[in-house]
Structures are given as structure tokens and as C-alpha cells.
Amino acid sequence: MTILDPAEMRTATEKQAAPSGAGQTEAREKHTATGLARRGSSPKPPASNSFLDRFFQITKRGSTLAREFRGGIVTFFTMAYIVILNPLILGGFSAQNAPTDVAGGWLSAAQVGAVTGLTAGVMTVLFGLIANLPFGLAAGLGINSFLAVAVIHEVTWPEAMGLVVINGILIVLFGVTGARTAIFKAVPKELKAAITVGIGLFIAFIGFVDSGFVRPTKGGPPVQLGTDGSITSIPTLVFIVGLLVMGILVARKIQGGLLIGIVATTVLAAVVEAVMHIGPGSAANPGGWHLNTPVLSGQLVSAPDFSLVGHFDLFGSFSRIGGLAATMLVFTLVFTNFFDAMGTMTGLAKSAGVAYKDGTFPKLKSAFIVEGLGAVAGGATSGSSNTVYIDSAAGIGEGARTGLASVVTGLLFLGSMFLTPLTSVVPLEVAAAALVVVGAMMMAQIREIKFSKFSVALPAFLTIVTMPLTYSIANGIGVGFISWAVIHSAAGKGKKVHPLMWVVTVGFLIYFARGPISTLMGG
């Protein structure tokens, strides 16, 4: 359950000259496996000749079947909220409570829920089988909100999903050509470490907000503790109990600590709801449960409706709003998708201990391609672009190190299409506690950053704080890239800035100025 630090996984072979070509890759894989075995939460497991062990390299990465299954289950439970939340963002139960597009069209919440589970399940299983990494994929919250709040006021839902498909095709091309891998390798290791730390703070902040532990204020500071500076909500108290229980279990290195904590706190939440009848949160009931109410009622099994599959219009938006305006929307989608996923995979690979010294990890190109296919699949099913989830860090914290955990998570997502009531019994406050614990684990990567060098310290600091403050991984990466390139060049260290860093920096400048640019274009 320890978050592994690749910087500490040094062996005597590192001091020798590194081999080249295929030999170098093999040596790096052996080095990673050796470090994992040494730094795992228990001694190296005995070798196994089972098909699963050999296919997923479970023993080689210092893991066990039990850890992989447990990690996959934990990742699912920390991600399962998306099956409930995505339909609420993109759809509704009528035109009156759903985001309507420029033509008055809307998406059914039940249908969005079905395709959310379907796409997440298929893409997560595919990612596990091809990339062999313990990362879960599902509809990205940044992009689905962007579609519902901004894009559909200009185009129809099928046209918006067509833009998501185009975005995914471009990302796949970046992966196939190696452009995405080249950009990834051009990022300095200090920035990669800062991205990991920033993601840790980001998911912890998400946990605090989702639990009601931190709330926005009216006329005062942007956020405050609870309501008027105090904890007054029972669900928030359940979050605090869950956070302490999970923290204690992890600190005591109890196998399955996070999973045990999630189950135990869910039971506590269900008992509290049965006794106190708190109900769902709303304007009239601000102390209610945030999103999921921990109670089982009505029908437990239902057949999913896949009517939205294939319901997209690839080029309709270009005819409706013009080529330039549609291109700017695609540009925004690509940048958000591209760098959110890059940052997330950087942090997760480091947390899992499978990252090499330069920040890359096994099957990097395959991971990028499959993640791009997730965007294509999400648009094609009208569930929004699917991307790697930072919540996967919970399963990694539970011991997951291989793609077998992703296969487990994906199969559970497929099952969730039929068992939505069971999925929704885990309240968001419980999942939030797991995110805060994992965020604390990811903070360990801060040791990789040399804060004594201000040309490194400031870009790293800006990367870290921008993510939680703007609720965007891509924004944090963009600010970090720009500040790194500018400060190093002004300090006479321009030779240390990779040319691709400058290319991406210019891209981020356009990304941050897309509003004025769109206005100048008449959008």
C-alpha cells in the first residue's frame, strides 16, 4: 500500500553504462521490477507460472493476484460516482431538467448512464490488456462539463459529440506518430514531479469539496471550512470518520485498508441514513448527501438502453457555426484531453512505481493510443470523451501494479450498467475520503523537486497550486510549461529548454487566450 518512489529504486546496475535499443528497454524493465519487489508493502511474492501472472507480469512488478483484484475493486468504487454524475451533467429526465442544445435537443439520463458504464468498462478493460497499467478510464469531468455548459449553446448534441470524436482521432494520431511520446519525454523531470504533487493536491481538494468539508462562501474568502466555518453536516462527519479510519488502516499497513475503509464507512453511512433519514442534498436540504444517498430501494437490476450509441454528427458543427469557430472548439478539447491525460498518467505511473528515472513508463505509446481511442469511443456513444482517471490512484495505493486491476475495474463498470442502484449506494462522501488519503500519498514526490533553485522552484510551485485552484490539470501543466520556458531562458538557461517545450508553450498561450481569439474570429 506504499506509494512507491522511483527515485529510490536504485540498483548497482544503474552505475554502469546504460545499454541501448531493445537491451536498454529490457534493462529498464528489470530495474523497475527489482525496485518494486524491494519497496513493496510486503516481501517479493513467490514466482508463479500461471497465465495471468505471465501475461500481466504480476510477480515481475512485485504484486500478487490478490492485490490486483483488490486494487481494481477499490478503483471502481472510487470512480463509480461517474455512472451517476455523468448523466446528471449531460442529461436529465425531461427537457426541463436537462441541458438543451441550440436546437432544443436533450439527452436522456438513463441512456447517458448506460453508455457511461459501457464505454468506461470497454475502454478500461482494453487499456489493461494493451497497456498493462492499473489505470481506469471513464468520461472526463472537465470535458463533459465544457460540452454541457458552453458547446451545446452553439451546436446540437450529436454535433458536439462529433467534435469529441474528431478530438479523439487527432489524439490517436499524435500517439501513433510518436508526437505525444516526444512531448512527454521533453518535459523536465522536476515538472513531472510537480505534476504528480499537483494532482495529489487536486484530488484531495476534490475530496474536501465533494464531502462538504470545504464550501464556497458568500462575499468572503473563496472557500471556508464547512458552513460558516464549522462542520454542521452529518454526511461531512461521515467523511471525517471515513478519512480517519482509512488513514489509520493505511498507516498500520493493513492489507486492503482502503477497501475495508470504503466498505465500513458505507455501512456506517447506510445506518446513519436509515436512522436519521437525511436524504439527498438540495437548496432546501443543504445538509443532505452529496449526489448518492446510501440506501437500497426499488428495482436492483435493470436492462441498459444503448440508443445513444452512434448518435453523433462528425462534421455538422462546421456547417452550423463555421470552420474557424468549430476548429477553436476542437483545439480546446484536444488541449484539455491531451494534457490532462498526460499529467494524470505521469502521476499514476510514479505512484505505482512503474515509472523510469526519466518519468516514462512501460508501453507508453500504447497507453497514449488507447487513451485517445477512449475519446473516440466516448464521442461515438454520446457519453463524452473517456480519459484516464486520477481516482485510479486509490487502487494503486491498495497495491495494484498491472493491467489486471484495470480489467477488474472495467468488468465492474460493465456490470454497473445493470446494477445502478448498487453502484449508487456508496455516497460521494465515502469516495471523497479515499481521494484525500491518496492525495496525501502522492505528496511524497515533492522530494524530486530542487526548491533551492528558484528557476525550478517557481514553475514547480505554480504547477502544483494552479491545479487545485483552477480545478484543472491542464491549466496547471500549461502554467508550468510557460513559466519554465520563460524563466529558464531569461536566466540564461535557455539551452535546457527542449524545443518541443517551446512549441507546447506557444500552444498553451493560444489555449489560454482562446476566448479573445475566438472573439476576433467573430465566434
Lowest mean pLDDT among 34-48, 305-319, 423-437: 34-48
Task: Tell me, yes or no, whether 50 lies in a domain.
Answer: no
* Residue 136 confidence (pLDDT) above 70: yes
What is the pLDDT confidence band of residue 516, given thresholds at 50, 70 and 90?
Answer: confident
Distance CA(190)–CA(145), nearest Å, equals 31
Lowest mean pLDDT among 130-139, 157-166, 231-240, 288-297: 288-297
224 by DSSP, 3-state: which? strand
Task: Tell me, yes or no, whether 103 lies in a domain.
Answer: yes
The total number of structural domains in the chain stands at: 1
Q: Which three cell numbers stand for residue 416?
A: 454497473
Task: Tell me, yes or no, whether 49 lies in a domain.
Answer: no
3-state SS track over 506-522: HHHHHHHCHHHHHHHCC
Distance CA(244)–CA(248), nearest Å, equals 6
Task: Tell me, yes or no, whether 190 lies in a domain.
Answer: yes
Range of the domain at 473: 57-295+321-520
Q: Which three cell numbers stand for residue 94?
A: 425531461
Global confidence as pTM: 0.70
Distance CA(59)–CA(224), nearest Å, equals 46
Task: Tell me, yes or no, whether 29 lies in a domain.
Answer: no
* Residue 185 confidence (pLDDT) above 90: no
Distance CA(13)–CA(21), nearest Å, equals 17
Residue 255: predicted pLDDT? 67
Single out the residue of 488, 481, 519 nearest to residue 503, CA to CA. Answer: 481
Q: Longest C-alpha distance within the chain, in Å?
A: 67
What is the pLDDT confidence band of residue 245, given thresholds at 50, 70 and 90?
Answer: very high
43 burial class (0-12, 13-18, 19+ CB within 10 angstroms)? exposed
Distances (CA, A) of 329 to 112, 143, 163, 310, 512: 22, 11, 8, 21, 13
Q: What's the pLDDT tens digit per position in 440-463?
A: 887 877 888 889 999 999 999 999
